[in-house]
Structure 1
Amino acid sequence: MSVLCIIRQFLPKMALGILDPLGKKKTQKLRNFFWDVLSIEKIYQKENISGWVVEQDQLMAETGMTEEMRTQFQLLLLWASQANTGPAASWLLAYLLKHPEAMKAVREEVYNVLKETGQEVEPGGPLINVTLAQIKTPLLDSAVEETLRLRASPFLFRSVLQDMDLKMDDGREYFLRKGDQLLLFPFVGLHMDPEIHPDPHTFKYDRFLNPDGPKKEFSKNGKKLKYHSMPWGAGPSMCPGRFFAISEMKLFVILMLLYFDMELVNVEEEIPPVDVSRYGFGTTHPSCDIQFRYRLRFLAFACRTATPPQASQRELRPPAHRRLTIAAASSGRQGFARPPAISSGWQGFACRLLKPRGFSCRQGFLRMPAGRLLHAWAPPAAATCQRERLRKTRAEDRHGITL
């Protein structure tokens, strides 16, 4: 059984504390696997270590934390930064692909705010270098919030510390005893309430916008609500990493829209329902894969090439002096390749794919980091020139695209 299968099968039971002996054995084996892979000793043997990870580890070491505790923290960090953000970013991209008007509006917004910083994505141009604090993307922000409203469904647990009467808005009252445990499910109570969010099952990328800016006020029964959605929980237990997670999602989508053309393989396909076993554990997962096609919007090869041989291939021409003919393998449409389906792990693939150092031109093939191979024609001189260009890119920017 793969690591991903173990996580999907046993995580909900582990969180609820209802694992059987077999489940406990498998989850402990999984912990040991991650603790070994993420051990401090092995991390420092790798190249291009994240400066953030190194700084965090140094701070923990200075406070006297043991190496074992610091290794366990690395697993916690991996889980906290990826377990919900990856699926959420995948849902967001799926909704944009399914709704072309949303894709067009968000993409135009991204292009416009990038131009305001004096930058533009173009063949052979420099990598974009801006921070999210420099740009304002209200349409993308609204699309992110709408995606979380539809696909984030956490449980909120509360303990009753003293006897009390709880009065509901509709007049009903409940007596709560000291020691009782409450489980709240805002996905039903808030996210899917048609009075708060009209047509609640429909993705509306601009739902959280007013003509004058972001929409902040929502009401029910004529009363203003303190919370209109709760994808991060509420109160003192609200997710402390929510701002980091939103930045991850926005960064991912901005880069995808800037550097790739994308479309669904089957434009008639509906967004799949969620895997109901994931209700209560943050962002839900799709019940099946979503197939889509992608292609790089620009090819930036730095050398002149000769006229390519005759072939049933699609020519992608940046400037006239930079030309490479590419035909995608296993493609239903010329010039497009089919990547892995959008899933909880797809975000990492896309981020690796976007890094320039992930590409190599060797023996007439353009290889992408995820193992996808596109047939390409290029004479040996062009391949050699491209390798030199990639070496220079690595030396100048060890971290690829920065945003």
Structure 2
Amino acid sequence: MSRHPVRSLSRRLPKALAPSDRPTRLPHVEFDASAVRFLGDAVDPDVFPVSAAELWHTCDGSRPLDSWEPADRERIARWHAAGLVVAVPAPRTAPVRALTFLSPHPDDAQLALGSTVFRFGGRVVDVFSDETWTRRPYYRERPALASRMLIEEERVSCRVLGAGLTLLGHLDGESRPAWRDGFLLGAESTVDVRRAEPELFERVVLDLARELADPSLVLVPLAVGGHVDHVVTREAVCELVVRGAVAPERIVFYEDMPYSLFGDPQADADRLAAVLSGRPSGPWGGCALTPVLVPGSALSTEAKREALWPYRLQVMEPITNRIVRYGRGLGADGPAAGTNATAGGFAERVWAPAESVAAVRELAACAT
């Protein structure tokens, strides 16, 4: 077995494990008779000897770091620095606010709003949670394993952020016949999703009607980038508002990540506002969507980075770093741009119709 650490064991800027943190193992570790593997590659036995397997399995998020003996704490801290475990804070007794985060896939809500999820709690609802896409050859050759890992990554991330999780289990667009020629839609063709897959669209609408039966504020993807699953999720919620099943004052749109790093959220917000106000008998007024910054703190920014680390199959660390820099840019530029001030030099931006501006500004004020 190679004694060289794999690429994944070079995590940069790791959060230091606090005594009260609850180390939680990542799901990508596999054991055989003589080796420990992470993401399919052999792990340096100096970092993770086979003899430490029993200790590894105790890192299930149920106990704080200071409950282990000193030698075991030292090994767990090394695993954390290497990126084999993540730090989960003590669980909150209840969500701070009633929030529902609609995530087209596992990772979307956390990429866009991880700081907000951490600060307020609530529930993440994954719509297209049946997926197998990955950049890693080891998992591309094992689609059933990849599918299971993507869900397990999501579970770990939600533990870090203290959020509940619901999986709706719809098949992602990359695997559906309607989008075999490409699932990233142009900005002007997003209305086609209803006609392309009418039965699927109606199933998603009905599923979300059930999930949104409570009075919580609902954070919905703006669909920056035009990914078909993001568009379907957004349009299904808009359909529920038109049908009167969900009140418009509950709906807030968020900037999809990493698409907003390369796209134009303002242009997408303007297009969506025009569509919403132009629909016959629509419940929304004609005002543009209003950008609102939800402030982060040093703690919530650190938690967001920690919560993104489990997504080893799809999210590369450079993207995580760019997303964090983007949030810091919003936090630094917010007051100059005429939006609300932020605390901690970090923010996540949402876009509110006129009906929900007051509610989301109240949310942002609570985060300050």
- Fold-level similarity (TM above 0.5): no
TM-score tier after normalising by the smaller chain length: under 0.3
Give TM-score scaled by structure 1 length. 0.25
Give TM-score scaled by structure 2 length. 0.27
